[in-house]
C-alpha cells in the first residue's frame, strides 16, 4: 500500500472515477461525501471494478467537528483530493450564499486540518471557468483569469487564491490545482458514471437522455458563432483520463518530485471539438441518432476554449488518451445501464 488518501466528494462523478484509479495504483482510499449530489450505491460500483471497497463516511465537509473526528479515526492520511463542491452554474446564480458557504467552507476546513494531522498533499478540483472567454486558444496556465461570470466560477477563483495564501503563510503543505476542461464519459465497465440531477444543464447527459428517449430533442444552443461550423467549441476530456491526472499529481507531491509547494495544470486534451462534432461523434460511435434542433445562443456561454496541456504532458507525464468516439460510447453504455437499473 502506498498510503491513505482522503477523497472528499468521492461518490460524485469525477471522485468515483478517481477512487478507482487511486485503488488501481495501490492507494487506500477513504471517501467522505454528504451525498448531496450522489448516491451511496457508487461504492458498490467502485468495488465491482477494483475488488476493493473504499472506506466511506457520510459526512458534511463543512462540519469541522465531523471532519476532525474523521481525521482522528483515520490516522495517517497522506493526501487529500478535494472534489466536494456544489457545481451547477445556473443554480449558483440563484443561490449564491449556498455556493459560497458550501464550496469555501469545505476548502477552509480541509486546509485548516491538514497541518494538525500531518497531511502533506492537496489536489484541488479547479476549472477552465477561471479563464472566462480566452483571448487566444489553446490556453496556457499563465493566461490571465477573468472576472467570473457566476458565483460558482467565483468560488473556483477564490479557492485558488485561498490555497495560494495559505501556502504563502507557511503552511507545511503542498497543493496542486487541476483546471479541468469539460469532463465527459463514464467508466468503460459502465459500473460508474455521471448521475444527473433533474434536467441536465450539461451537453453530454442531455444528449444521452435524448438518445434514449427521456428527452424529446437536444437543443443546440447557437449555430451562428464565429467558429467553423457555427457551434461552440470545448475541450471534452474523458473522465477516466481526468481521474488518472489526480494520481500523478498526488504522487508528485507525496514523493517530492517537485520542490514547488503550489503548482497549477490544465487538464484537457488540447483539441477543440465543436458541439456539432461531438453530436456527430456520438451518432458515429453508437449508431444511434439524436433528434436535435438549433436554437438561440445560451446566455453566458463562452464561444470557444481549449487547453494547452503541454505542462501536464511534460511535467506530470500525463496525457489524455481516450478517443472521442470511445468516450461517447462509454457515455452511451452508462445511459443504457441507468435504464437497466430503472434510474433513467
Ligand atoms: P459531483 O457533484 O458529481 O461531485 C461532487 C460531490 O461532492 C458530490 O458527490 C456531492 O454529494 C459532494 N458534496 C458536495 N458538497 C458536500 C459537502 N458539503 N460535504 C461532503 N460532500 C459534498 O461533481 P463532479 O462533476 O464530480 O465535480 C467534482 C469537482 O470538480 C467539483 O469541485 C467541481 O466543481 C469540479 N469541476 C467539475 C467539472 C464538471 O464539468 N463536472 C468541471 C470543472 C471542475
Ligand atoms: C457545452 C456546450 C453549450 C447543453 C460547464 C461549466 C464549466 C465547467 C464545465 C465546472 C456549450 C452546449 C449544452 C445543451 C447545448 N464546469 N449545449 N445544448 O458550459 O462548457 O461548461 O461545465 O467547472 O464551469 O460552465 O458545459 O456541457 O453546459 O455546454 O448546445 O443542452 O454545449 O451551449 O456550448 P460548459 P456544457
Instruction: Read off the pLDDT of each residue in 252-278 and give the average, rounded to a whole number.
Output: 98
C-alpha cell of residue 4:
491513505
Res. 1: pLDDT tops 90: no
Q: Looking at residue 125, what is its pLDDT?
A: 98
**Is ligand 1 within 6 A of the CB of residue 159?**
no
**Is ligand 1 within 6 A of the CB of residue 268?**
no
Q: Which ligand is nearest to the CA of 234?
A: 2
Q: Looking at residue 235, what is its pLDDT?
A: 99
DSSP 134-202: -SSSSBPTTSPP---SSHHHHHHHHHHHHHHHHHHTT-S-EEEEEEE-EEE---TTSSS-----SS--S
**Band of residue 268 on the pLDDT scale cut at 50, 70, 90:** very high
Q: What percent of the chain has pLDDT over 90?
A: 98
Instruction: Read off the pLDDT of each residue in 308-335 and give the average, rounded to a whole number.
Output: 98
Q: Looking at residue 224, what is its pLDDT?
A: 98
Res. 39: pLDDT tops 80: yes
Instruction: Read off the pLDDT of each residue in 161-172 and give the average, rounded to a whole number.
Output: 98
Res. 62: pLDDT tops 90: yes
- Ligand 1: which of 18, 36, 95 to mutate, most ligand atoms within 8 Å of CB? 36
Res. 112: pLDDT tops 90: yes
The answer to whether 270 touches 203, Cβ cutoff 8 Å, is no
Res. 71: pLDDT tops 90: yes
pLDDT, one tens digit per residue, over 296-307 is 999 999 999 999
Instruction: Read off the pLDDT of each residue in 121-139 and give the average, rounded to a whole number.
Output: 97
Res. 134: pLDDT tops 90: yes
Res. 148: pLDDT tops 90: yes
Res. 267: pLDDT tops 80: yes
**Band of residue 208 on the pLDDT scale cut at 50, 70, 90:** very high
Give the max Cα distance, the chain: 56
**Band of residue 197 on the pLDDT scale cut at 50, 70, 90:** confident
- 129 C-alpha vs ligand 2 centroid, how far in Å? 11
Place of cell 476532525: 68
Instruction: Read off the pLDDT of each residue in 1-17 and give the average, rounded to a whole number.
Output: 96
The answer to whether 236 touches 327, Cβ cutoff 8 Å, is yes
Read off the pTM.
0.99
Residues linked to residue 58 through DSSP beta bridges, in sequence order:
33
Q: Looking at residue 344, what is its pLDDT?
A: 82
Instruction: Read off the pLDDT of each residue in 172-184 and give the average, rounded to a whole number.
Output: 98
The answer to whether 308 touches 140, Cβ cutoff 8 Å, is yes
Q: Looking at residue 196, what is its pLDDT?
A: 81
Which residue, judged by its Cα, is nearest atom 9 of ligand 1?
A: 12
- 301 C-alpha vs ligand 2 centroid, how far in Å? 7
Amino acid at each position: 500500500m502506498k498510503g491513505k488518501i482522503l477523497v472528499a466528494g468521492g461518490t460524485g462523478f469525477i471522485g468515483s472515477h478517481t477512487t478507482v484509479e487511486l485503488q488501481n495504483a495501490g492507494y487506500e482510499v477513504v471517501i467522505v461525501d454528504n451525498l448531496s449530489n450522489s448516491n451511496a450505491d457508487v461504492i458498490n460500483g467502485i468495488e465491482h471494478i477494483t475488488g476493493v471497497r473504499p472506506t466511506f463516511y457520510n459526512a458534511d465537509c463543512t462540519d469541522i467537528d465531523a471532519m476532525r473526528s474523521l481525521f482522528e479515526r483515520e490516522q495517517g492520511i497522506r493526501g487529500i483530493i478535494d472534489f466536494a463542491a456544489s457545481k451547477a452554474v445556473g443554480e449558483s446564480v440563484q443561490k449564491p450564499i449556498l455556493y459560497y458557504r458550501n464550496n469555501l467552507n469545505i476548502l477552509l476546513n480541509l486546509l485548516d486540518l491538514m497541518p494538525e494531522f500531518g497531511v502533506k498533499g492537496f489536489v484541488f478540483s479547479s476549472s477552465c471557468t477561471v479563464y472566462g472567454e480566452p483571448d487566444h486558444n489553446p490556453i496556457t496556465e499563465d493566461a490571465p483569469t477573468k472576472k467570473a461570470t457566476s458565483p460558482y466560477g467565483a468560488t473556483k477563483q477564490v479557492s485558488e487564491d485561498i490555497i495560494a495564501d495559505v501556502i504563502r503563510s507557511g503552511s507545511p503543505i503542498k497543493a496542486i490545482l487541476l483546471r479541468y476542461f469539460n469532463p465527459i464519459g463514464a467508466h468503460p465497465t459502465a459500473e460508474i458514471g455521471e448521475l444527473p440531477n433533474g434536467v441536465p444543464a450539461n451537453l453530454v447527459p442531455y444528449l444521452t437522455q435524448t438518445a434514449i428517449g427521456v428527452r424529446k430533442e437536444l437543443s443546440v444552443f447557437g449555430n451562428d458563432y464565429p467558429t467553423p461550423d457555427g457551434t461552440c467549441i470545448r475541450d471534452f476530456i474523458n473522465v477516466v483520463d481526468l481521474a488518472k491526472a489526480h494520481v500523478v499529481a498526488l504522487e508528485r507531491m507525496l514523493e517530492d518530485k517537485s520542490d514547488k509547494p503550489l503548482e497549477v495544470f490544465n487538464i484537457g486534451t488540447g483539441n477543440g471539438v465543436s458541439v456539432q462534432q461531438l453530436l456527430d461523434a456520438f451518432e458515429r460511435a453508437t449508431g444511434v441518432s439524436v433528434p436535435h434542433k438549433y436554437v438561440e445562443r445560451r446566455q453566458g456561454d463562452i464561444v470557444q476554449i481549449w487547453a494547452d496541456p503541454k505542462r501536464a504532458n511534460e511535467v506530470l507525464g500525463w496525457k489524455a488518451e481516450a478517443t472521442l468516439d470511445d468516450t461517447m460510447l462509454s457515455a452511451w453504455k452508462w445511459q443504457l445501464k441507468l435504464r437497466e437499473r430503472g434510474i433513467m
